[in-house]
Amino acid sequence: MTDTLQYLTRGTWVAGAAGDTADDLNPSDNREVLARYSSMSTEQVRDVVESAVTGARTWRRTSPIERGAVLSRAAARLRAGREELGAIVSSENGKTLAEATVEVEKCADFFDFYAATCRMPLGSILADGRPGTQAMALSEPIGVVVAITPWNDPMLTPARKLGPALAAGNSVILKPAPDTPLAAYHLARALDEAGLPGGVLATVITDHDTLGRVVLDDPRVAGVTFTGSTATGRLLQQRLAGRGVRLQTEMGGKNAAVVLADADLDLAVATIGAAAFGQAGQRCTATSRVLVASSIHDEVVGRLAALAQGLVLGRSTEPGTTMGPLVSAVQRERVLAHLSGASGEGLTVVTGGGVPDAESLRHGCFVEPTVLTGMTADKAIWRDEVFGPVIGVRAIGSLDEAVEAVNDSPYGLSASLFTVDLRSANRFVQEVDAGQVAVNLPTSGWDVHQPFGGFKDSGSAFKEQGLEGLRFYTRVKTAAIRSSW
């Protein structure tokens, strides 16, 4: 067990003073405590906000080139410690060691990408019809940003937000998920050790009431960026409504993969399996709905079941493990409740559907990779986000039916199609109502320079990643200077 987890504030590391104690447990074996921490007190959180206001002024005046240099140094630190940090993320979250190591690498990629944007133009010169006058459109940081991040990508999601926020010149109050505080701690430490000035970044874990009253309700907060459930995203929309504060939400998904009769089934099944069961299905972009041409339905179901049965469940840090546990006992019970409901609705469990019985897994938060059939559009598990290693398979008769079924969802994050027909591919890309669309590729796996975000109940109008990711964190000021008359 590590020492008591600390928080970054004003460039120093302090323990929480709320008086409570929480354990950061290893989901592979809940008997193991990885870290222990206390929440921040109300007074500490108030001080965090004050320091962020000051930090925003300092960082805004800092040269963009120096901002980029800090991000680059932080990226180098992450890469140098990729093995150790990967093991920490794997132990804390439950994703495999390979998946966790890739997450650390992508965090470094985010910092490097946004470091490079610090050398981009900061605005443009505009024509002006007035004599002796030059007009400009200037890009400015918005100020203090609150970043609320989830447990499923506990280091990557904060990096996805911190990269553009810091590159643009904002200060950030980072509130990580209580289930995975170590990942955010080490990410913040990399930035702190890279020379980020005090007050520009703070980490906070506190109770919901304090976060709302002291942080979210503070009129000096300019933006809130959130990744998590659609229900929580909606609550944030309501809380911030009527104010000038910006809100960026990346929320739930019920992502569909369509397999047409002409698809390469080896490619389709392997790709869908990886997208469905990678990270034990705990990705917003995980494939959970599979629509298959009727003529190949049974074959695809059999192949997906065989793939699921071939996965090796085990301790996340073991090299031979191909699927780790869910993040917590609470999340495991949520997934099992969905599966219980599916059985009650008369769906067929082709494989999985419960908790593995191996003695070595008894103290972990494991759920068997599951394939369900008998799906219709009205089944709860077909419509609700499960966030676990569960896929439902449904037969379709045409591309028209497939597109209609993909779009028949309150979510619109990601979708994929497997086909060798270019006309079908183009039509799918044009007609599917999702923010991310792929052909012969997984619903997951979007790179750092590619804009990311969903439609409908999956997200807000502000995209993350790529150059689009900077828009949320910047505002445009138009200026004109008359220098002669």
Q: pLDDT value at position 3?
A: 63
| Parts of the chain belonging to CATH 3.40.605.10 | 6-251+459-481
Closest to 108 in 3D by CA, of 83, 75, 138: 75
- The 10 Å Cβ neighbour count of residue 482 is 12
User: What confidence tens digit (pLDDT) does each residue in 154-178 have?
Assistant: 999 999 999 999 999 999 999 999 9
**DSSP assignment string, 86-138:** HHHHHHHH---HHHHHHHHHHHHHHHHHHHHHTTS-SEEEE---STTEEEEEE
Q: pLDDT value at position 25?
A: 97
Helix, strand, coil percentages, rounded to 5, for the chain: 40, 25, 35
Q: pLDDT value at position 4?
A: 81
User: What confidence tens digit (pLDDT) does each residue in 250-266 have?
Assistant: 999 999 999 999 999 99
In the chain, the largest separation of any two C-alpha atoms, in whole Å, equals: 86
Residues marked active site are found at 284
The average pLDDT across 21-50 equals 97
The average pLDDT across 183-210 equals 98
Place of tokens 């304090």: 210
User: What confidence tens digit (pLDDT) does each residue in 435-476 have?
Assistant: 999 999 999 999 999 999 999 999 999 999 999 999 999 999
CB 210 within 8 A of CB 22: no
The average pLDDT across 79-84 equals 98
Residues 6+ apart with CB under 8 A from 57: none
Q: pLDDT value at position 485?
A: 76
CB 131 within 8 A of CB 17: no
- Whether pLDDT at 384 is above 60: yes
| 338-368 exposure pattern, b = at least 16 Cβ within 10 A, e = fewer | bbeebeebebebbbbbebbeeeebebbbbbb
> pLDDT confidence of 140, banded at 50, 70, 90?
very high
- Whether pLDDT at 1 is above 50: no
The average pLDDT across 226-249 equals 97
> pLDDT confidence of 484, banded at 50, 70, 90?
confident
- Whether pLDDT at 380 is above 70: yes
The average pLDDT across 91-120 equals 98
- The fold of 255-447 is Aldehyde Dehydrogenase; Chain A, domain 2 (3.40.309)
The average pLDDT across 119-133 equals 96
C-alpha span between 77 and 115 (Å, rounded) = 14
The average pLDDT across 212-227 equals 98
| Parts of the chain belonging to CATH 3.40.309.10 | 255-447
For the chain, give the mean pLDDT: 97
Q: pLDDT value at position 10?
A: 96
> pLDDT confidence of 16, banded at 50, 70, 90?
very high
The average pLDDT across 351-374 equals 97
User: What confidence tens digit (pLDDT) does each residue in 386-434 have?
Assistant: 999 999 999 999 999 999 999 999 999 999 999 999 999 999 999 999 9
Q: What percent of the chain has pLDDT over 90?
A: 99
Closest to 474 in 3D by CA, of 255, 157, 246: 246
- Whether pLDDT at 2 is above 70: no
C-alpha span between 378 and 1 (Å, rounded) = 47
CATH architecture type of domain 6-251+459-481: 3-Layer(aba) Sandwich (3.40)
